[in-house]
Amino acid sequence: MAELFYDDDADLSLIQSKKVAVVGYGSQGHAHALSLRDSGVDVTVGLREGSSSRAKAEEQGLAVASVADAVKGADLVVILAPDQVQRTLYAEDIAPNLKSDATLLFAHGFNIRFGYIKPEAGHDVVMVAPKGPGHLVRREYEAGRGVPVIVAVEQDASGQAWDVALSYAKAIGGLRAAGIKTTFTEETETDLFGEQTVLCGGVSQLIQYGFETLTEAGYQPEVAYFEVLHELKLIVDLIYEGGIAKQRWSVSDTAEYGDYVSGPRVITPQVKENMKAVLGDIQSGAFAERFINDQDAGGPEFKELRAKGEAHPIEATGRELRKLFAWVETTDADYTEGSA
Ligand code: NAD
Ligand code: MG
Ligand code: MG
Ligand code: MG
Ligand code: MG
């Protein structure tokens, strides 16, 4: 059974006595910085010159500085820039300005687990990773609740790393729900595995194959879209509320029986072998190396794969159909090709 921590297990005054620099003001960065501030913590947001986030952070009443200046005075530096830029950001702007005993805090273990950032021995290295997107983290905090967090300590130079990590987790509302103890290795490997095989990679491929099978058999794309993509949300909501069991209870007996007899025909034991191979590439660092090498080269493979995904016929069908959904606030303009 995992070890759990709650508000009573943490001392808020520990983080309140520190100067904190939050580097990055995206999904996680804005949520951490605002909730720390509202919990009485001295926060400065560190951003690149010319960052479009600067105005947003200032509008919210936060102190903003360059990454170097924010890091200079900080007792704790929170690294919430995208994973692929953290290594360079650390080498160029963070490490040269870091107090020798400053704590480093991450929300994902990628750069530590795969050795792209190697902090010197004097630093505590901890993780507080909310199990939800930043906007939910902030909304729950404001509602007096919290999103569960996972907490880990990679390096404990001060002997206080756990106490500080838990104090931080409390300040962003995480321990109102629960903190779950893990390690950088477990968090990083399971996070990458989940998104690659099931949540993002697995589900996207499954939807595309379902759509292709129906349209190649002559069914209308609009009808196929509803059956293999749109209705997924209804199914996922049931799974989220009560597991696979609740989903099976809620659907018709016809659907439930079809699940039992056809699910294993589609997702065969070979798929599990494929998953093991993916896990192997995660554990060996081969995936990380491929991702970072491509990013360092300007992301040619990444861009090509993204363009290929956007060109899949299901996307054009979806754009047209979503115009008919008065109840879905369409955000197509935010992420379709050609937008900023
Ligand atoms: P994001 O892409 O939403 O935001 C990153 C921010 O970093 C940008 O808004 C910008 O302010 C800043 N930034 C970008 N490039 C920079 C650069 N070169 N130098 C300095 N600052 C730069 O990122 P995110 O999704 O909030 O992810 C941040 C960290 O949190 C990652 O380690 C990620 O794995 C982790 N995480 C994210 C989520 C999530 O739901 N998004 C959940 C848990 C953990
Ligand atoms: Mg995850
Ligand atoms: Mg992830
Ligand atoms: Mg149906
Ligand atoms: Mg039923």
Same domain, 31 and 95: yes
Does residue 338 lie within any of the structural domains? no
User: Is 141 within 8 Å of 38 (Cβ atoms)?
Assistant: yes
CATH number at residue 76: 3.40.50.720
Same domain, 95 and 199: no
Same domain, 112 and 174: yes
Question: Cα 120–110–286 angle (5° rounding)?
Answer: 110
Q: Residue 335: which pLDDT band, with cuts at 50, 70 and 90?
A: low
Same domain, 9 and 90: yes
Q: Residue 325: which pLDDT band, with cuts at 50, 70 and 90?
A: confident
Give ligand 1 pocket residues (Cβ under 6 A): 24-29, 47-48, 51, 53, 67, 80-83, 85, 89, 107-108, 129-130, 133-134
Same domain, 172 and 308: no
User: Is 158 within 8 Å of 139 (Cβ atoms)?
Assistant: no
Q: Which residues contact 140 (CB under 8 A, 6 or more apart)?
A: 132, 146, 147, 173, 177
Does residue 108 lie within any of the structural domains? yes
Question: What's the domain count of the chain?
Answer: 2
Same domain, 136 and 258: no
Does residue 143 lie within any of the structural domains? yes
Strands (E) located in 112-235? 125-130, 149-155, 179-181
Which positions make up the binding site for Mg(2+)?
Answer: 191, 195, 227, 231
Average pLDDT over every residue of 27-31: 98
Does residue 85 lie within any of the structural domains? yes
Residue-wise pLDDT for 157-210, tens only, equals 999 999 999 999 999 999 999 999 999 999 999 999 999 999 999 999 999 999
What pLDDT, on the 0 to 100 scale, is given for residue 336?
47
What pLDDT, on the 0 to 100 scale, is given for residue 337?
43
Alpha carbons 151 and 148: distance in angstroms, whole number: 10
Q: Whose CA is nearest to atom 40 of ligand 1?
A: 133
Name the domain boundary from 135, 150, 183: 183
Same domain, 176 and 43: yes
Q: Tokens standing for 298? A: 């300007």
Q: Which domain holds residue 274?
A: 192-326
Same domain, 197 and 179: no
What pLDDT, on the 0 to 100 scale, is given for residue 340?
33
β-bridge mates for residue 106, sequence order = 79, 127
Does residue 339 lie within any of the structural domains? no
Same domain, 163 and 44: yes
The residues assigned a catalytic role are 108
Same domain, 166 and 230: no
Average pLDDT over every residue of 300-329: 93
Which positions make up the binding site?
Answer: 25-28, 48, 51, 53, 134, 191, 195, 227, 231, 252
Q: Residue 1: which pLDDT band, with cuts at 50, 70 and 90?
A: confident
Does residue 340 lie within any of the structural domains? no
What percent of the chain is predicted at pLDDT more than 70?
A: 97
Does residue 331 lie within any of the structural domains? no
CATH number at residue 223: 1.10.1040.10
Q: Which residues contact 70 (CB under 8 A, 6 or more apart)?
A: 21, 22, 23, 44, 45, 46, 77
Same domain, 118 and 205: no
Same domain, 270 and 240: yes
Does residue 332 lie within any of the structural domains? no
Name the domain boundary from 128, 159, 183: 183
Q: Whose CA is nearest to atom 22 of ligand 1?
A: 81
The model's pTM is 0.93
Residue-wise pLDDT for 272-291, tens only, equals 999 999 999 999 999 999 99
Q: What is the mean pLDDT of the chain?
A: 95
Instruction: Write the ipTM.
Output: 0.95
Q: Which residues contact 303 (CB under 8 A, 6 or more apart)?
A: none
Stated length of the chain: 340
Name the domain boundary from 183, 210, 238: 183
What pLDDT, on the 0 to 100 scale, is given for residue 334?
63
Gap from CA of 251 to ligand 3 centroid (Å): 31
